[in-house]
């Protein structure tokens, strides 16, 4: 039975002999070694791992010092019978670009925990934010591999910058994409069907007599949001209003409303100066704060609002809840549960899933 597990990382943060020792220890914990616990010879292990005999010797010395194996004549080792191991929980990582301290950033911890709990495995999650920095995204992935994660869920900062890196990384540890695919890779993904949602939203607004819609977006948007906007444009005349929504949100949490007020003024000018009859924002809380909370009542009466609503414990204003706003469900729990299921199957079978799974958005009201 082969002992080598993941590929040895020549330039990783962990010494090569320690990587070998960790992988051999994993096999010892599984307890399914043939020949009464005898390990393959040093020469055989060196061939499996693609390392020198000296590296294998140092790795076996580490295991001997931990009282896990006995070494026979400096050429092979045998597991110490009756040795009890503390069960090791599988670790899975999630890297996302959202601000860690915001409501959605905090919610991702709970959502992934629920997603893992729905599968018959003992597992724990490591959730980290890249804060929208592609360099940090790669560094976090390397740190997770160094710390022994079995697989990584990745919500990439954009659809291209780190494509080659994560394609290469997926040959060392499984990488499942969420939110958007990476161009030029064959990495499997689970994403929302934003194009289908855009057509549905456009059709619904048009059925209500709407013809010109203002799309209130963040200053930076991923490929999925762009797909949604393009699909809506097939049904309606679209006017884009891109504002620093998330930057303003971070400042508001510190008590600074300066940028928030700038955004509210820009939205009011856009709605009052044109012939817009509807407003769509994919971020329900921002629509609540800026439109429901800051626009005058006479302006709100002539605008039909629509949004995507996370199935998260969020508190909305009374105006929002009684406005009859059009909402489409954006269930990140469904997204993470399906993505986790595909990732765990990949980790267990060693076979990479193929293709992109798309989750359709349903009307909520």
pLDDT tens-digit series, residues 124-167: 888 999 988 999 999 999 999 888 888 999 999 888 899 999 99
Q: Is 151 helix (H, G, I), strand (E, B) or coil?
A: strand
C-beta separation of 285 from 260 below 8 A: no
Please name the helix (run of DSSP H) or strand (run of DSSP E) that holds residue 153, with its range, or none.
strand 151-154
Higher pLDDT, 203 or 50: 203
- Mention the CATH class of domain 90-187+333-359: alpha beta
CA distance 41 to 43: 5
pTM check: above 0.95: no
Structure confidence at residue 103 as a pLDDT band (50, 70, 90)? low
pLDDT tens-digit series, residues 297-310: 999 999 999 999 88
Q: Is the pLDDT of residue 12 over 60?
A: no
* Domain regions of the chain by residue span: 16-79, 90-187+333-359, 194-330
CA distance 171 to 325: 46
- Note every long-range contact of 2-9, with CB atoms under 8 Å and residues 24 or more positions apart, other chains counting: 2/48, 3/27, 3/39, 3/40, 3/45, 3/48, 3/49, 4/45, 4/48, 4/49, 6/172, 6/173, 7/171, 7/172, 8/49, 8/50, 8/51, 9/145, 9/172
Nearest to 154 by CA among 135, 177, 136: 177
Higher pLDDT, 9 or 214: 214
Same fold, 16-79 and 90-187+333-359: no
- Mention the CATH class of domain 16-79: mainly alpha
* Most confident among 39-48, 62-71, 123-132, 213-222 (mean pLDDT): 213-222
pLDDT tens-digit series, residues 20-43: 888 888 777 766 666 566 788 888
Q: What percent of the chain has pLDDT over 70?
A: 89
So what's the pLDDT on residue 68? 84
Q: Is the pLDDT of residue 324 over 80?
A: yes
Q: Is the pLDDT of residue 365 over 80?
A: no
194-330 CATH pick, 3.40.50.720, 3.90.1150.10, 3.40.50.2300, 3.40.30.10: 3.40.50.2300
So what's the pLDDT on residue 308? 94
């Amino acid at each position: 039975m082969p002992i080598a597990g993941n590929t040895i990382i020549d330039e990783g943060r962990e010494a090569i002999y320690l990587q070998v020792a960790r992988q051999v220890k994993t096999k010892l914990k599984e307890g399914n070694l043939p020949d009464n616990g005898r390990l393959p010879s040093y020469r055989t292990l060196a061939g499996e791992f693609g390392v020198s005999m000296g590296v294998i010797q140092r790795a076996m010395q580490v295991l001997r010092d931990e009282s896990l194996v006995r070494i026979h004549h400096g050429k092979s080792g045998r597991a110490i019978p009756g040795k009890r191991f503390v069960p090791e929980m599988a670790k899975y990582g999630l890297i996302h670009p959202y601000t860690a301290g915001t409501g959605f950033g905090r919610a991702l911890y709970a959502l992934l925990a629920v997603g893992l709990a729905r599968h018959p495995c003992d597992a724990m999650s490591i959730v980290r934010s890249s804060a929208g920095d592609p360099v940090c995204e790669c560094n976090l992935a390397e740190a997770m591999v160094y710390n022994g994660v079995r697989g990584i869920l990745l919500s990439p900062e954009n659809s291209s910058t780190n494509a080659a890196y994560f394609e290469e990384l997926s040959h060392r540890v499984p990488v499942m994409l969420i939110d958007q695919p990476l161009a030029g890779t064959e990495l499997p993904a689970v994403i929302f069907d934003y194009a289908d949602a855009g057509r549905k939203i456009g059709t619904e607004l048009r059925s209500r007599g709407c013809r010109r819609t203002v799309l209130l977006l963040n200053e930076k948007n991923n490929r999925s949001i762009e797909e949604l906007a393009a699909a809506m444009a097939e049904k309606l005349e679209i006017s884009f209003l891109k504002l620093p929504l998330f930057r303003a949100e971070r400042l508001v949490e510190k008590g600074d409303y300066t940028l928030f007020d700038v955004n509210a003024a820009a939205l009011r000018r856009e709605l009052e100066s044109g012939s817009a009859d509807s407003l769509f924002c994919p971020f329900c809380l921002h629509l609540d704060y800026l439109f429901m909370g800051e626009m005058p009542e006479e302006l709100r009466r002539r605008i039909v609002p629509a949004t995507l609503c996370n199935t998260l414990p969020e508190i909305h204003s009374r105006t929002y809840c009684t406005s009859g706003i059009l909402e489409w469900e954006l269930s990140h729990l469904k997204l993470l549960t399906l993505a986790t299921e595909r990732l765990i199957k990949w980790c267990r079978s060693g076979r990479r899933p193929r293709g992109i799974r798309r989750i359709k958005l349903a009307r909520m009201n």
